[in-house]
Every structure is written in structure tokens, then in C-alpha cells.
Amino acid sequence: MGERRGKGVLEVGRILVADSEPHIRLLCREELQDDGHEVQVAGTGGDVVRLTDSFHPDVVILEVLLPDMSGVEAGRMVKGTRRETRIIFYSHGLPPRDVTIWGADAYVFKSPDLDRLKEVVRSLA
């Protein structure tokens, strides 16, 4: 698990970002690394599952529509092996009324401004 400072504040965390769009992965990686996190990126649900086994992320940020499987399915697979990992869905679509139905801890609408996403990452630690 990442290093912690104070209650609920992640000082350094391992974050896995999964998105089908390379420029979104790059933007998220740069912004989250600037916040002091260790970040890996994935372009498919299969990559998410493989990287979860080797990278052991504290938080996984998932696009709902990945090319090989849904982000919901990938998130459930992550939770199946690493229950303590937090899941954030990051997408343009409408979230369910209760994201816990999808096994998620949070849902953030995609935006070029990543301040909200970074805020949610910090709040989940």
C-alpha cells in the first residue's frame, strides 16, 4: 500500500490508469506523477488484470468502455484479487445511481481538467 500522511491522505500511492485513448493515459500519468504518485497505464482490460498482479495498485482509474472488455468487468476482476484496491470509473457516460453496483468506489466524468479526478484519488486513500 502507498505511504500515508495523516488520516485518509495518500502521500505516495500506486495508481493504475486504464483508458483506450493514449493521450488520456499520458495526461493522467503526467498529472498524477506530478502529484507524487507512482503511475502505470493500460489500454485494455486484460492489461489492467496483468498489471494489477505485478504492480499492486492502491487505486485503479478505469474507463468504462475498454476495447476488450468493459471497465466494470475489469474492475470486478481487480476487486476479486485485490479487495483493498480502490476503483474509480472515469468516463463520459452517465453513471449508475450507485456506483457500488459496479464495484466502484467513485465515478468521475472525463474532463481535460483533472483537478476533480486528483481530488477523488486523494479522498479515497
Sorted by where each starts, the structural domains of the chain and their CATH numbers stand as 3-124 (3.40.50.2300)
Residue 76, C-beta contacts closer than 8 angstroms, at least 6 positions apart: 103
State pTM to two decimals. 0.87
- Per residue in 4-18, pLDDT (tens digit) is 444 444 456 999 999
Per the DSSP assignment, residues forming a β-bridge with 17 are 41, 61
C-alpha 124 chain-centroid distance: 11
Using an 8 Å Cβ cutoff, are 48 and 74 in contact?
yes
Instruction: Please give the residue that has the higher pLDDT: either 6 or 68.
Output: 68
